[in-house]
Amino acid sequence: MSNGGVPEQLYRLAAEFAGDLTRTIQRIIPTDLQFTALAMGNADRASVGVGIFTTGQFTPLPLSINGTHRLNLMIKLHLCWDSGQDFLAVDKSFFHVRAEGRDDTPLFRLEYVRQATRDVPCSHLQIHAHRDELTYLLMVADRARPATRTRRDKIPRVAEFHFPQGGHRFRPCLEDVLHALIVEFGVDAQPNWRSAVEKGREDWRHKQIRAAVRDAPEDAAEVLENMGYVVTRPEAGPAPTNQARMRAY
Amino acid sequence: MAGVIVKTPAELRAERDELLRRAGTGYDDLRDRAESYQLTASERNIWETIRTIDYLLGDE
Q: Could you list the pLDDT tens digit for every one of the 249 residues in chain A?
A: 457 778 889 999 999 999 999 998 889 889 999 999 999 977 667 889 999 999 999 999 999 888 899 999 999 999 998 877 788 889 999 999 999 998 899 999 999 998 888 888 889 999 887 777 888 888 888 777 655 455 566 777 777 788 888 888 898 998 888 888 888 878 888 899 999 999 999 999 999 999 999 999 999 999 999 999 999 999 999 999 999 989 988
pLDDT for the residue A86: 81
Q: How far apart (Å, rounded) are the C-alpha atoms in residues B5 and A39? A: 6
pLDDT for the residue A75: 94
A80 touches chain B (CB under 8 A): no
A156 touches chain B (CB under 8 A): no
Task: Determine contact, residues A72/B37, Cβ cutoff 8 Å.
Answer: no
A140/chain B closest Cα distance in angstroms: 22
Closest CA to A54 of A33, A85, A78, A28: A33
- The answer to whether A11 contacts B48, with C-beta atoms less than 8 Å apart, is no
A69/chain B closest Cα distance in angstroms: 14
- Model confidence over B3-28: pLDDT tens digits? 999 999 999 999 999 999 999 999 99
Q: Which amino acid is at A28?
A: I
pLDDT for the residue A152: 60
Q: How far apart (Å, rounded) are the C-alpha atoms in residues B28 and A71? A: 28
- Angle subtended by helix axes B9-23 and B27-35, to nearest 10: 70
A135 touches chain B (CB under 8 A): no
pTM of the predicted model, to two decimals? 0.86
A10 touches chain B (CB under 8 A): no
- The answer to whether A40 contacts B7, with C-beta atoms less than 8 Å apart, is yes
B45/chain A closest Cα distance in angstroms: 6
pLDDT for the residue A168: 83
**Average predicted confidence (pLDDT) for chain B:** 94
Beta pairing, strands A88-99 & A108-113: antiparallel
Q: Nearest chain B Cα to A36, which residue?
A: B3
pLDDT for the residue A1: 47
- The answer to whether B4 contacts A15, with C-beta atoms less than 8 Å apart, is yes
- A38, with CB counted inside 10 A (0-12, 13-18, 19+), is buried
- A113, with CB counted inside 10 A (0-12, 13-18, 19+), is middle
Q: Say if the ipTM goes beyond 0.90.
A: yes
Q: How far apart (Å, rounded) are the C-alpha atoms in residues B55 and B59? A: 6
CB contacts, 8 Å: A94 with chain B: 48
DSSP classification of residue A52: E
A66/chain B closest Cα distance in angstroms: 23
- The answer to whether B49 contacts A6, with C-beta atoms less than 8 Å apart, is no
CB contacts, 8 Å: B8 with chain A: 4-5, 40-41
Span between the terminal Cα atoms of chain B, in Å? 30
CB contacts, 8 Å: A15 with chain B: 1-4
Size of interface A-B (CB pairs under 8 A): 102
